């Protein structure tokens, strides 16, 4: 079950403030509310946010150490020192290297650039320093996007007679390097702490060159988005200005990476450009990305961009494989704790972070993926928004050799023999410090829309761009009943929803098609976009999720009956344990008390639930599970063939019409006191009964329209049969080839000779009636 949470709830005083601000600025109250919730609580802050600009840039000299750094570089130029810039292998580090190297060259010094590869580890290390001294005997080391934790290495460099300037943005360790340090997180007059490494390098570039360094903002924008720092404050100004630059005249390196994409937004930076730059480092060739961004040779740029595209394709493929392998192992080992932890022998260490993020989202819990190196496990932790994994690790540090990172992501090294201890400790810590709701997959909405989507609001949303961390594109909720939903074309997994208040697209919405079309009450969670076509503006919704309210129960009875009938086609017989209602109820209560994961309760009738006190407080999913998290779930009227194989317990509240669900190795329990197919059991299905329906259907040909058999039955209600009879007959006749169903229309196929006993559904139904 997915949870809908509101981005903000305003008190009545806040509402008044927001209303006043919305009038002063001339924006809708909804937009003003969103801005208010994101920290813009005065007119000035709101106006500044709505018009991001270089005018808002802060002076680099407010940053501690900046003047000294610029002065030392000035001296280095005078005295013709050899300078090394030492960076990092990710898109932030590469961007920072590109910015500072270009700025230095323009300033009049030619730097030697060093980018470590992932296998060397993050930050400075002695091997790299030795190699650099061997190669060019530098007089000045400048770090970008790293160095703040390298007090020892800095000392080591100084001992060899070179100066060091550390520029970084990471959290300050207890012991700072004893050299010139530029880091916005230092206590200084610089009011904004959230620049990325490239942002700090950009500030140094401005300190050296003044505003002529602004043509490097494209690199800075890319790194800012890639490093997942919040897109508020100065970062927002940087990204907005960088995007303008890329939109007006993209650098060849950028346009080559973008391929056919012409529209560029913060999303393009995040999902097209940054992954390609990062792919180079992940595939063990960060140097290629650096060369791409520092080269002036057109042919070389095109060749390197092609190479990065190739790396990215390879990276995607390897990630998909690693994900499948990790997921298979997780399911085999069972994911029943508040944390998902798994280790592999030959997994690629450059990819485990990406896959951990995917696993964390799918299972809606923090995920830690490790690669084994001898007795050590080196891994990446990724968390869900509501859980601070860094604090959790800190509290379990007695089982950890080494870790570092922040609330959402961390690197972790543990001894192999501490793996289980760490897992248990994390599980217990998370259970003690978080609520159950924190682990439910949630959707954050900024407002509720009923009726048409306001045009002004839609246009204002565009003013909130660029979107990213800390400033998400707002999602809205809309209540809906039965919807006109169809695949965009035959066999497409994408769904379009027409009519109603707003035309919507739902990518990969196939799984919810049944729910969308049925009468039950549900909530659509969607984003709204304005696009221009031939001078006209069009509003379109993009559905991100459909959430069944878990309550309404009587309107889907025909859809549910159709599911029951269709399930007869695929009967299996798993080993089951039969229990009385009382025993079933006790079992469920016990399992739920023991663990929040791994139990799926299945019922074919909503009304049944009131007979089991152990489940009445559970929110239900209808037709199919809305999440893959394996949290304890209640599933109503499951679609035939639904995959429940990840659960360890599946409990039916009634004898099901057939065992059609994929329960894998789960322990299957059935309450045999109730019947889950009462309607099939009492349906008139004698030969004569069936022929009667068939004759009538034949005479009604041309009127047999509907999205599925349940809807066809509803549409021809006046024919004098119950809908259940029509649904059952259509399903049987279709199986026998007497009815074909396509494009929302059932047709009678003539000239077929067959017999009812050739229908699996029919035979199964007869058996249920016997």
Footprint on this chain of Mn ion (rule: CB under 5 A): 92, 145, 197, 227
CB 3 within 8 A of CB 549: no
Query: Closer CB to Mn ion, residue 96 or residue 371?
Result: 96
Closest approach of Mn ion to the CB of residue 263, in Å: 27
Closest approach of Mn ion to the CB of residue 88, in Å: 6
Query: Closer CB to Mn ion, residue 197 or residue 541?
Result: 197
Closest approach of Mn ion to the CB of residue 90, in Å: 7
Query: Closer CB to Mn ion, residue 204 or residue 653?
Result: 204
- Cα distance between residue 34 and residue 37, in whole Å: 5
Query: Closer CB to Mn ion, residue 108 or residue 173?
Result: 173
Query: Closer CB to Mn ion, residue 94 or residue 318?
Result: 94
Query: Closer CB to Mn ion, residue 236 or residue 648?
Result: 236
Closest approach of Mn ion to the CB of residue 201, in Å: 10
Closest approach of Mn ion to the CB of residue 109, in Å: 24
Closest approach of Mn ion to the CB of residue 125, in Å: 17
Closest approach of Mn ion to the CB of residue 649, in Å: 44
- Cα distance between residue 355 and residue 684, in whole Å: 53
Q: Which residues contact 478 (CB under 8 A, 6 or more apart)?
A: 448, 449, 450, 501, 502, 523, 524, 526, 541
Of how many residues is the chain composed? Answer: 770
- Cα distance between residue 729 and residue 734, in whole Å: 8
Query: Closer CB to Mn ion, residue 92 or residue 734?
Result: 92
Alpha carbon separation from 391 to 382, 394, 432, 440, 742 (Å, rounded):
13, 5, 13, 20, 55
Beta strands 476-480 and 447-448 are parallel
Closest approach of Mn ion to the CB of residue 281, in Å: 12
Closest approach of Mn ion to the CB of residue 92, in Å: 3
Query: Closer CB to Mn ion, residue 227 or residue 735?
Result: 227
Closest approach of Mn ion to the CB of residue 131, in Å: 23
Rounded to 10°, the helix 43-50/29-37 angle is 100
Strand order in the sheet with 402-405: 340-344, 367-373, 376-382, 409-415, 402-405
- Cα distance between residue 109 and residue 101, in whole Å: 9
CB 666 within 8 A of CB 575: no
- Cα distance between residue 63 and residue 458, in whole Å: 39
Nearest to 7 by CA among 521, 600, 448: 448
In the three-class reduction of DSSP (H, G, I as helix; E, B as strand; rest coil), residue 391 is classed as: helix
- Cα distance between residue 128 and residue 96, in whole Å: 19
Closest approach of Mn ion to the CB of residue 196, in Å: 5
- Cα distance between residue 468 and residue 268, in whole Å: 11
Query: Closer CB to Mn ion, residue 103 or residue 566?
Result: 103
Residues pairing with 44 in the sheet = none
Query: Closer CB to Mn ion, residue 92 or residue 735?
Result: 92
Query: Closer CB to Mn ion, residue 227 or residue 512?
Result: 227
Query: Closer CB to Mn ion, residue 111 or residue 197?
Result: 197
- Cα distance between residue 123 and residue 113, in whole Å: 14
CB 434 within 8 A of CB 447: no
Backbone angles phi, psi at 57, to 5 degrees: -60, 140
Alpha carbon separation from 92 to 226, 313, 314, 498 (Å, rounded):
7, 21, 21, 42
Closest approach of Mn ion to the CB of residue 177, in Å: 17
Query: Closer CB to Mn ion, residue 115 or residue 625?
Result: 115
Closest approach of Mn ion to the CB of residue 197, in Å: 4
Q: To which residue do tokens 């303008």 refer? A: 244
Nearest-10 Cα torsion for 513, 658, 557, 638: -40
Query: Closer CB to Mn ion, residue 100 or residue 746?
Result: 100
Query: Closer CB to Mn ion, residue 197 or residue 553?
Result: 197
Closest approach of Mn ion to the CB of residue 674, in Å: 59
* CA dihedral over 49, 53, 59, 63, signed as positive or negative: positive
- Cα distance between residue 722 and residue 324, in whole Å: 46
**How many Cα atoms are found within 13 Å in the side-chain-facing hemisphere of 36?**
24
Nearest to 695 by CA among 756, 766, 748: 748
299-322 burial code (b ≥16 CB/10 A, e <16): eebebbbebbeebbeebeebbeeb
Closest approach of Mn ion to the CB of residue 143, in Å: 12
Q: Which residue's beta carbon is nearest to the bound Mn ion?
A: 92
Query: Closer CB to Mn ion, residue 69 or residue 225?
Result: 225
CB 143 within 8 A of CB 183: no
Question: Rounded to an integer, what is the distance from CA 363 to the centroid of its chain?
Answer: 11
List alpha helices for 686-757, DSSP H. Answer: 687-699, 709-715, 723-735
In the three-class reduction of DSSP (H, G, I as helix; E, B as strand; rest coil), residue 3 is classed as: strand
Alpha carbon separation from 222 to 104, 115, 327, 440, 750 (Å, rounded):
20, 18, 31, 32, 63
Closest approach of Mn ion to the CB of residue 145, in Å: 4
- Cα distance between residue 753 and residue 80, in whole Å: 96
Query: Closer CB to Mn ion, residue 227 or residue 460?
Result: 227
- Cα distance between residue 465 and residue 186, in whole Å: 29
Nearest to 254 by CA among 202, 289, 229, 280: 289
Closest approach of Mn ion to the CB of residue 403, in Å: 17
Under DSSP, the state recorded for 245 is H
Query: Closer CB to Mn ion, residue 93 or residue 509?
Result: 93
């Amino acid at each position: 079950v997915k949870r809908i949470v509101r981005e903000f709830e305003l008190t009545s005083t806040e509402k008044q403030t927001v209303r006043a601000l919305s009038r002063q600025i001339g924006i809708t109250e909804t937009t003003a509310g969103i801005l208010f919730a994101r920290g813009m609580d005065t007119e000035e802050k709101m106006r500044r946010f709505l018009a991001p600009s270089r005018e808002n840039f802060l002076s680099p000299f407010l940053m501690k150490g900046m003047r000294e750094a610029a002065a030392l570089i000035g001296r280095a130029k005078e005295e013709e020192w050899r300078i090394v810039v030492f960076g990092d292998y990710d898109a932030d580090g590469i961007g920072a290297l590109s910015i500072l190297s270009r700025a230095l060259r323009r300033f009049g010094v030619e730097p030697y650039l060093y980018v470590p590869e992932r296998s060397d580890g993050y930050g400075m290390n002695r091997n790299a320093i030795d190699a650099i001294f061997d190669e060019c005997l530098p007089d000045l080391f400048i770090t970008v996007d790293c160095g703040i934790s390298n007090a020892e290495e800095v000392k080591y460099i100084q001992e060899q007679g070179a100066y060091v300037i550390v520029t970084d943005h990471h959290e300050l360790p207890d012991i700072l390097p004893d050299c010139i340090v530029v880091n916005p997180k230092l206590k200084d007059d610089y009011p904004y702490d959230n620049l990325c490494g490239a942002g700090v390098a950009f500030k140094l570039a401005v300190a050296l060159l003044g505003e002529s360094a602004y043509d490097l903002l494209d690199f800075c924008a890319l790194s800012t988005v890639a490093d997942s720092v919040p897109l508020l404050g100065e970062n927002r100004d940087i990204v907005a200005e960088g995007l303008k630059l890329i939109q007006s005249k993209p650098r060849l390196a950028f346009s080559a990476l973008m391929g056919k994409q012409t529209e560029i937004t913060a999303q393009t930076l995040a999902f097209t450009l940054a992954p390609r730059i990062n792919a180079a480092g992940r595939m063990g060739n960060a140097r290629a990305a650096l060369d791409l961004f520092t080269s002036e040779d057109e042919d070389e740029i095109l060749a390197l961009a092609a190479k990065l595209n190739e790396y990215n394709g390879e990276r995607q493929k390897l990630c998909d494989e690693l994900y499948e392998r990790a997921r298979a192992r997780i399911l085999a080992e069972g994911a029943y704790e508040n944390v998902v932890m798994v280790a592999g022998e030959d997994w690629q260490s450059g990819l485990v972070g990406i896959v951990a993020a995917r696993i964390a989202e799918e299972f809606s819990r923090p995920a830690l993926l490790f690669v084994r190196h001898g007795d050590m496990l080196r891994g990446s932790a990724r968390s869900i928004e509501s859980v601070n994994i860094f604090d959790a690790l800190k509290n379990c540090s007695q089982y950890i050799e080494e870790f570092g990172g922040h609330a959402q992501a961390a690197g972790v090294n543990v001894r192999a023999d501490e793996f289980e201890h760490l897992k248990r400790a994390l599980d217990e810590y998370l259970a003690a410090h978080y609520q159950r709701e924190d682990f439910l997959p949630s959707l954050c909405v900024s407002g509720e829309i009923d009726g048409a989507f306001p045009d002004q609001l839609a246009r204002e949303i565009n003013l909130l761009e660029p979107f990213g961390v800390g400033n998400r594109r707002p999602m809205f909720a809309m209540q809906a009943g039965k919807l006109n939903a169809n695949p965009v074309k035959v066999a497409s997994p994408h769904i379009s929803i027409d009519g109603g208040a707003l035309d919507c697209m739902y990518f990969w919405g196939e799984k919810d098609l049944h729910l969308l079309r049925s009468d039950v009450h549900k909530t659509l969670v969607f984003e709204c976009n304005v696009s221009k076509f031939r001078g006209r503006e069009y509003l379109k919704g993009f559905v991100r999720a459909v959430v069944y309210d878990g309550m309404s129960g009587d309107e889907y009875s025909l859809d549910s009956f159709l599911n029951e009938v269709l399930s007869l086609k695929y009967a299996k017989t798993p080993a089951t344990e039969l229990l009385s209602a009382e025993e079933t109820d006790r079992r469920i209560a016990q399992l739920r008390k023991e663990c929040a994961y791994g139990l799926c309760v299945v019922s074919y009738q909503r009304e049944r639930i009131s007979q089991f006190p152990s489940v009445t407080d559970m929110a239900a999913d209808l037709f199919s599970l809305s999440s893959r998290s394996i949290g304890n779930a209640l599933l109503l009227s499951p679609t035939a063939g639904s995959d429940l194989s990840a659960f360890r317990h599946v409990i039916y509240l009634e004898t099901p019409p057939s065992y059609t669900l994929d329960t894998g190795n789960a322990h299957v329990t059935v309450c045999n006191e109730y019947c889950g197919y009462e309607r099939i059991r009492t349906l008139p299905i004698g030969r004569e009964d069936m022929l009667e329906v068939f004759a009538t259907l034949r005479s009604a040909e041309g009127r047999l329209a509907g999205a599925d058999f349940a809807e066809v039955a509803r549409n021809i209600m006046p024919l004098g049969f119950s809908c259940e009879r029509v649904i059952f007959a259509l399903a049987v006749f279709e199986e026998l080839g007497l009815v074909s169903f396509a494009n929302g229309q059932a047709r009678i196929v003539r000239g077929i000779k067959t017999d009812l006993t050739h229908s699996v559904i029919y035979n199964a139904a007869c058996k249920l009636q016997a």
